[in-house]
Structure 1
């Protein structure tokens, strides 16, 4: 039975919209009523188990104690309903349970949302023929496998079984897959990786009234299935952007640092980002400026210890991630009014962060809560790198709101962090930063953030990139600060760090074997969305949870390749609504392209290898301006840049030609990748590694590199 949903802002998309490029890769459904695709397994006496799948047309009969696990072949989410055509009597029962991974299929219940034990099965008393539906209270946001049980003597025949897809509730029913962004390359692994990341972010966009209530989080008996509800209200709108659709189903700012750019690069769902950010700011301590570890729901029933704990706990880094989330929202929307509305909150929060800075010039981090690790060790490299980056962002935003009174102080604090971190925390023998002064641990999170923030110099960034790559295992990049953990969240930042260090091929290889080969293709995965984290051995174990069945297999913080591929590989860096940098870093890809539409216009880029060199075709919105950064070719070459229809309808032609001496030893690749930082790169000539053309008006450009 189809369940109506409140649909807001239907003008975002239209079923009559132009064809979406590369739509064959999009995993989002074309409509909301979804039937299972196939039977995964059946137990007991079941007649015609496949008749309620997409290939069936009749009825499925469950006799005595029996069960079928149905496979949707990808992770979905929503409200299950079924039609009973007949039953032997009025005392029959049908049970429904769910799981994201085949590893947790169980006759006893669903994979876990609580910390101990699996979730209870939903049982329906079958009183006769008719429609039976799961209540919105039990909206299951993420599952690939649907288990249907019959546990009594007698029989029940189902004539229909479906799930009403509830993710992206404010999008038109036939517009969930109408992406505003696209990606494609000559590497099929990367194509799948990008679209799985975009789909992961979509599943994390849930009805605002379907937040996780964590009813039995304090349960202690692993053998007793626990009660679960999804009825918290998370935002003041129809949708909310959460960390995961199964759990926690809360608005977490840490995830935003990775997933918010991915949303704009794929679906441009600005309204959900805005609503979710506003709830984070609504939870701010008005006296100290402290921002929450996660946004407090507007409505929670019943009250539970975790939500109450979230009211008092403070995370130094998640506090800053909310500020960076506001910056990311502003970058892609140009929403100056929203920025101005939250500017005083931003300043109050940043001032609170700076209150932790001591005589060393570094923040002394006493809060113990971060993405997984507990204990920051005082002068922590990750926390201070994120603080430095936030200070730089604050300067940019200050100019946007014309409040420049703190700029000199913020710049000074940023520079002091760089100096102090390199004096106290840089370990030249390891080519990595130490976690803090009291340990020999070289963390993944702090080292990748040192590159992103500019704490690390260009030479240090190159060395860090090499040292991090040397630690890779068969299943991905380790995060030793969290034990034997592989964190797709932190590794999403590592992807950016390799690009920034001028090592795009490392980022590409990491996406290929970690995201594609393992996180998509391992049979325990969903083949469509990305897991929250796992063990370096490949075991699906995450140290944060007592029950491995609790691991989320659709987590927005694991969608880093969307940003990495569109922004770095294709080179479409949006700085704000009026400025951009185009700097393609394709590695060994022979063709790679991406495009996306945001409020102020459309961006696209296409890099391809040619018979004698390479070409890059770029389009940016009229009324904007930017810099084109080209990495020096691996050969002596003619570099020609031409443009047309530049600067709007009265635009002018553009032409630029330069003879470049190539870098020796890199002739195997057309372009040698360079480095760009948080600010537009300075003018450089070919011998310095990059060629930069500044002050280009928005428009259409073609770069031709011909080796001589």
Structure 2
């Protein structure tokens, strides 16, 4: 009876897969937030006040007839770049007349629509960017914003008329991802029929990263221009570059790359990898020649001018190097930059050269958290992953001539010693969490970052310990997300991105999905946000007063609403939910953790070739749960199937296999599991 039912199910599921393969529908394309053109007109009128009339042509072009004192706000959806328009006025302005014809003010959030722009300079006096005043000649004239007034990210433009003027055909020339002729041309996708919110957050993550990929010479000048802004500073090494935020700071921040780089790769493929390449080239260019330390940030930031350094962000760069290497499979790049990587790892090795086996945090600059210092848990978790992952890369690319085999052994041994010390020095059995550090104050702080990173990078020593840490982290949650202990009254979308990945690492997909729906769902639905991009951070009550007590000076307009370090769900849903993840040098793993999702798929493009996976789960009663998955991986790669649930039988392309089995070669593989345990929800 079992054989008959199984045969029937196999026949039906094969037909379903073949039907899907012949269906050209791509429902996920409706969720791509990018326009198809690099020249964008406003999509609607958000607000109008005073004596103003708007005419709309049949093709949707607005003409604004504005009298003195009137004001109109245009809604572009989310864009970034430079505006151009046609103006017409009969009023000429004398050369020494201080009153312009009109002004342009920019805002990301609808909460900050006004005649002055939202802020890119957090100061106690609330010194906003003011607005860009525009004076034009009489008659009909073409006007374009000066290149130095580039505006990296905005949704709304408010035009305030100081004199009578008509303005027509307002167009934004997009600045982000300058390599793309068609900004909608994304190379990756994710889809599930079961939860539209998850689809929206995957695409919001990619769009956020896309808006953070800047053309050269569009970084923010610091000190900032008084009563305005200038965004024509050099970002670093010439080329489109992945930055921290669209509006600000518009600079490479090393720590952001660990999340943002993967998001850019998954969604944008070659364009995303290009932006990571130039970001890493900038880090290498400015690497300290004496000790090998990698920069904390890009050369236009205030931190750069102050000579700030960061042990934590140094480790994040090494993590980003490993990710870039395995996502591209580019051995030439590895050979060119192996000396940079080696010097970076040796910096870590020197910090670990003590009786404890952990690195002491000398430079405590980080993502704005409080505390730190000592044998900091977040720092050492990152050091562990950098050592372990780069040791594997050294081993996999070792030859008789390059000497990497010995490096692999040394780095791997240091990582193993670090892991032992990490659990000896920092684990608190009563709290079921790791301490911030070993000091008196640090021993009372159980940080979100250190514990999330410890879970994600496998510093726990048992499944039970991992489950306990995952459960303990949820004690920080309020109704919209984790209030991080290391920065009171703050929900960090960066560290919460790491926490999402951490719950998957602990085999708790239900917890990860709950966190994504709670925190990222709020970001997508809140009237304070854009609905298409992801915010830098929030206060505990969901307001934009992020980091108010930590240098942002209670200036909510300063907070960035498109910040690529907040995009962890994109990585989580593709790599962990669907479960097809590149984990090493031309190595991947298939480990689906669908939680309460029954059908999901993803695809992403690497220089090695396309990675694609679709997963279907169904409950067939006495048969137990049925898994039907199809994988497509590039030739020259190999992988491992590691199902986090047991099945009575598993076949790969019709051949019975163990439920944990290496899978050699690339190509298409059909995985069928019968009598499986119910997925963990």
Give the TM-score of the pair, scaled to structure 1.
0.85
Question: Which position in structure 2 is the counterpart of 1:679?
Answer: none
Displacement after TM superposition at 1:279 (Å)? 0.6
Cα deviation per residue 1:378-421 (whole Å; 9 max; x = unaligned)? Answer: 11111111111111022012124421223333222212222222
Does 1:580 find its partner at 2:588? yes
Question: Which position in structure 2 is the counterpart of 1:632?
Answer: 645
Give the TM-score of the pair, scaled to structure 2.
0.88
Displacement after TM superposition at 1:705 (Å)? 2.9
Question: Which position in structure 2 is the counterpart of 1:316?
Answer: 311
Displacement after TM superposition at 1:119 (Å)? 0.6
Query: 1:431 and 1:66, CA in 2 relative to 1: closer, same or farther beyond 3 A?
Result: same
The one of 501, 506, 524 equivalent to 1:496 is 501
Question: Which position in structure 1 is the counterpart of 2:128?
Answer: 118
Output the CA distance in 1 between the equivalents of 2:573 and 2:395: 29
Displacement after TM superposition at 1:332 (Å)? 0.8
Question: Which position in structure 1 is the counterpart of 2:325?
Answer: 330
Does 1:641 find its partner at 2:651? yes
Output the CA distance in 2 between the equivalents of 1:114 and 1:151: 28
Secondary structure at the counterpart of residue 320 of structure 1: helix
The one of 463, 468, 472 equivalent to 1:463 is 468
Question: Which position in structure 1 is the counterpart of 2:627?
Answer: 614
Question: Which position in structure 1 is the counterpart of 2:525?
Answer: 521
Cα deviation per residue 1:401-460 (whole Å; 9 max; x = unaligned)? Answer: 421223333222212222222122111111111111223010000001111222212221
Cα deviation per residue 1:517-569 (whole Å; 9 max; x = unaligned)? Answer: x1111001011100001111212112241222111100010011111000000
Does 1:477 find its partner at 2:489? no
Conserved 8 A contact 2:239-2:278:
no
Output the CA distance in 1 between the equivalents of 2:203 and 2:149: 28
Secondary structure at the counterpart of residue 360 of structure 2: coil
Conserved 8 A contact 1:367-1:376:
no
Conserved 8 A contact 2:297-2:304:
no
Question: Which position in structure 1 is the counterpart of 2:407?
Answer: 406
Question: Which position in structure 2 is the counterpart of 1:194?
Answer: 202
Query: 1:305 and 1:532, CA in 2 relative to 1: closer, same or farther beyond 3 A?
Result: closer
The one of 665, 671, 678 equivalent to 1:703 is 671
Output the CA distance in 2 between the equivalents of 1:461 and 1:36: 49
Output the CA distance in 2 between the equivalents of 1:657 and 1:453: 28
Secondary structure at the counterpart of residue 405 of structure 1: helix
The one of 131, 136, 140 equivalent to 2:142 is 131
Write out aligned runs for 1:96-245 (5 A): 96-115=104-123, 116-128=126-138, 129-152=140-163, 155-172=164-181, 175-185=182-192, 186-216=194-224, 226-245=227-246
Output the CA distance in 2 between the equivalents of 1:695 and 1:707: 21
Cα deviation per residue 1:666-697 (whole Å; 9 max; x = unaligned)? Answer: xxxxxxxxxxxxxxxxxxxxxxxxx3111332
Question: Which position in structure 2 is the counterpart of 1:442?
Answer: 446
More helix by share: 2
Output the CA distance in 1 between the equivalents of 2:356 and 2:614: 46
Does 1:596 find its partner at 2:604? yes
Deviates more, 1:538-547 or 1:202-211: 538-547
Q: List alignment gaps of at least 5 residues for structure 2.
A: 1-23, 95-99, 399-403, 621-625, 677-681
Does 1:387 find its partner at 2:383? yes
Conserved 8 A contact 1:367-1:375:
no
Deviates more, 1:437-446 or 1:196-205: 437-446
Cα deviation per residue 1:451-499 (whole Å; 9 max; x = unaligned)? Answer: 1222212221110101112321111112110122111111111111100
Question: Which position in structure 2 is the counterpart of 1:44?
Answer: 50
Q: List alignment gaps of at least 5 residues for structure 1.
A: 1-17, 218-224, 298-303, 644-653, 659-690
Secondary structure at the counterpart of residue 406 of structure 2: coil
Secondary structure at the counterpart of residue 404 of structure 1: helix
Question: Which position in structure 1 is the counterpart of 2:656?
Answer: 656
Query: 1:210 and 1:459, CA in 2 relative to 1: closer, same or farther beyond 3 A?
Result: same
Secondary structure at the counterpart of residue 101 of structure 2: strand
Aligned length: 623
Displacement after TM superposition at 1:317 (Å)? 0.8
